[in-house]
Structure 1
Amino acid sequence: MPLPRVQAGRLGVYLAGCVTFAAGATLFIHSDYGVDPLDTLALGVLEHLPLTIGIAQASVAAVCIAIWAVWNRRRPVISPFVTFLLCGSLIDLMRLADTSLVPRAGQLALGVLLCAYGSALIIMSGIGIRAMDLVVITMTRRWRWPFWVAKASVEAVLLVVGWLLGGPVGVGTLCFLIFVDGLIQPFMALNQRVFGLDNHGLVVARSESAPVESTTRIGG
């Protein structure tokens, strides 16, 4: 049975976002200037275990989903796990491409734009909210922390652990934290105004941040 047109459209935005983000993350890796906190951790794990980036990122997602589920007494969700596994696996494939013709600084700059725009598409699709953001949303609701403080705290943990494991950290990491996170919201506004895309991610965020008492509990 074919997907409804609206559902298929959202899925297309989601998949485009995953491919775009993975391309940007791959350029970060090839630039050799440092990567985002999640990839720092994933590449650090690869220094010690014979895994792939896709499996490493999926493992991080599984841990985040487990923390969120126990903390909120809700059933684990699948879509964030799929997002991490899909994006990580795409990065594994794209790393095989030769990008040496593009200057390293150019790879970093293009990586920033692609990661930010890909993130905007994934969020706007309302499919596969990032597993880390599930934990961040819970932190903001339970501890009354600003979203950016909670997100920075989670990313700091990933970054430190990844660095201790031997993952790459550099100016590219700083660029990701400042520019990618800073460009996501403007890109979402651009997509709404210029391309007429609906921001389904806002609905998902409100749903995930609803009071625990009004949501489905594990075993009930």
Structure 2
Amino acid sequence: MALMARRLVQLYVGLAFYGLGIALQVSSGLGNGPWDVLHEGLSRRLGLSIGAWVVITGALVMLAWIPLRQRPGIGTISNAVLIGVFADLFLWLLPTPEALGARWAYLVTAVLVGGFATGCYIGAGLGPGPRDGLMTGIAARGHSLRAVRTGIELTVLAGGWLLGGTVGAGTVLYAVAIGPLTHVLLPALTIRPRTREAAAEPEPQEQPAAT
């Protein structure tokens, strides 16, 4: 029970921080991550908020899980619904920076926060996000995960740019940095279930320091 509570807390902390990362990067005006270029472009062309489009596209992507036979978890559903809600909340709360230095501070913080948030919600082990599951589901059909991810993100980036989403230095920074950041942070944030043997073993007693 305690382990599940910890996983749920980490999941929702991660989703909140992911929404914060989106808001910071969008507010910087220096270029969004590929999916958020699409979300912003849809918002500009069709109305509704960026967060609303995060939720809508997440739901549509999950429809593609059906032929791929992917199974969502509580983390998947929570990801699909809450990241957009948190993104809109933080876009409303955060002041829009005007000075270039402040905009870059927003951008760099956004990428760092995004890496931490990704490690949190994946490390909780309660189901991948809709977009992550799409990539892994297609890759499981015998394709390179790197090639699948690149193909999907280039497609949504191009579509978002054509719709008017913001592409810039931030887009490049996000693409280059988010993978390595997640690679570094994920092992530390992964919650591993305890085996029965480990649970049955007594906790090691602290030994006195040698003199």
Instruction: With the length of structure 2 as denominator, give the TM-score of the two structures.
Output: 0.82
Structure 1, gaps ≥5 residues long: 201-220
| Cα distance, 1:182 vs structure 2 | 1.9
| Structure 1 residues 23-172: aligned runs within 5 Å | 23-72=20-69, 79-96=75-92, 97-98=94-95, 100=97, 103-142=102-141, 144-172=142-170
Deviation at 1:77, TM superposition (A): 6.1
Q: Flag structure 2 segments of 5+ consecutive residues without an equivalent.
A: 194-211
1:16 paired residue among 5, 8, 13: 13
Cα contact 2:75–2:121 (8 A) shared by 1: no
Deviations 1:63-112 (A, max 9, x none): 2211121233x677664243132111111111122153871111111111
Alpha-carbon contact 1:188-1:199 (below 8 Å) kept: no
Cα distance in 2 between the residues matched to 1:147 and 1:77: 21
* SS of residue matched to 2:60: helix
The 3-state SS of whatever aligns with 1:48 is helix
Give the secondary structure class of the aligned counterpart of 1:47: helix
Q: CA RMSD in A?
A: 2.1
2:173 corresponds to which of 175, 200, 206? 175
Output the CA distance in 1 between the equivalents of 2:137 and 2:122.
17
Identity %: 25
Quick one: distance in 2 between partners of 1:124 and 1:75?
17
- C-alpha separation in 2, matches of 1:177 and 1:140: 19
**What's the offset of the Cα at 1:161?**
1.1
Q: CA deviation at 1:62?
A: 1.7
Q: How far apart are 1:131 and its partner, in Å?
A: 0.8
Compared CA separation, residues 51 and 36, structure 1 to 2 (3 A): same
> Quick one: distance in 1 between partners of 2:81 and 2:51?
5
Over alpha carbons, which structure has the higher Rg?
2
| CA deviation map 1:169-201 (0-9, x unaligned) | 111011111101221010113x25xxxx5257x
